[in-house]
Amino acid sequence: MPRFGMLHETRFPGESAAYRAARDELLEAERDLRRRIEEVAAKRRRLPLGALVREDYVFEDAADGKPVHLSELFAGKDALVLYSYMFGPDMEEPCHMCTPFLDGLEGNAEHIQQRVGLAVVAKSPPARLRDLARARGWRRFRLASSAKNGFNRDYHGEDAAGEQDSRIHVFVRRPDGIHHFYSSELNLLPSEAGQNPRHIDLLWPLWNVLDLTPEGRGTDWYPSLTYR
């Protein structure tokens, strides 16, 4: 057991008393943050069901161009996590932020899909999405085109002018049909001073890893599609 006034007895080679005092202060804050994250997650799980989805949207599977309904994306599960990807037909390149987020999602997709359905939709046509998936090595999550339906507009992945936006959604299946349950909304709020909207940061390994370092994520660096 830790001695009185100590959070734990583990010490790292050569650390000073000043370092340990500062680290313990941070450790208290980290513990408080973990508790707060768990409280927010519990509150999210207690959300009432949202509205029934008014249509079983028909997407086009990027792999073969065949129709696939929203209900099929559940893949037999009761919940579906669906990401609206910023890659419209008029964009020369996919979003430089969405794309590395999906790179990370690819690595965990097999595990996620043990419990829930998982899919990514974008407004570009299937062939364009298929070429991108092959180039990036995406194989584990389902990628589909929303070019021929109104999903993006209805669920705020696109504005009236056709400008694309990113959003992560959760839909649930119940006896009376498919309900909307949750969508990320932090990027709908005004940005706080010195911050971008950062609406999916807790799901994104990139920023969480960089935030462990003294330099942090920085103020002027953003991921790119390629690095040379």
In a domain? residue 133: yes
Residues 67 and 37 occupy one common structural domain:
no
H helix intervals, 11-88: 17-45
In a domain? residue 4: no
- 145 sits in which H/E element: strand 142-145
Between the alpha carbon of residue 42 and those of residues 152, 160, 216, the distances in Å are 28, 34, 29
Contacts of 51 (CB under 8 A, 6+ apart): 179, 180
* Cβ atoms < 10 Å from Cβ of 126: 21
**CATH number of residue 178's parent domain:** 3.40.30.10
Residues 167 and 68 occupy one common structural domain:
yes
Residues 41 and 77 occupy one common structural domain:
no
Domains contained in the chain, number: 2
| 191-227 pLDDT tens trace | 888 777 778 988 999 999 999 999 998 888 899 999 9
Q: Which domain holds residue 24?
A: 18-47
Which is it for strands 58-61 and 79-84: parallel, antiparallel or unpaired? Answer: unpaired
Residues 28 and 140 occupy one common structural domain:
no
The structure tokens listed for 37 are: 């994250």
CA angle 17, 6, 4 (to 5 degrees): 125
| 27-74 pLDDT tens trace | 999 999 999 999 999 999 999 999 999 999 999 999 999 999 999 999
Residues 69 and 173 occupy one common structural domain:
yes
* Distance between CA atoms of residues 192 and 90, nearest Å: 30
In a domain? residue 7: no
Considering the entire predicted model, what is its pTM?
0.93
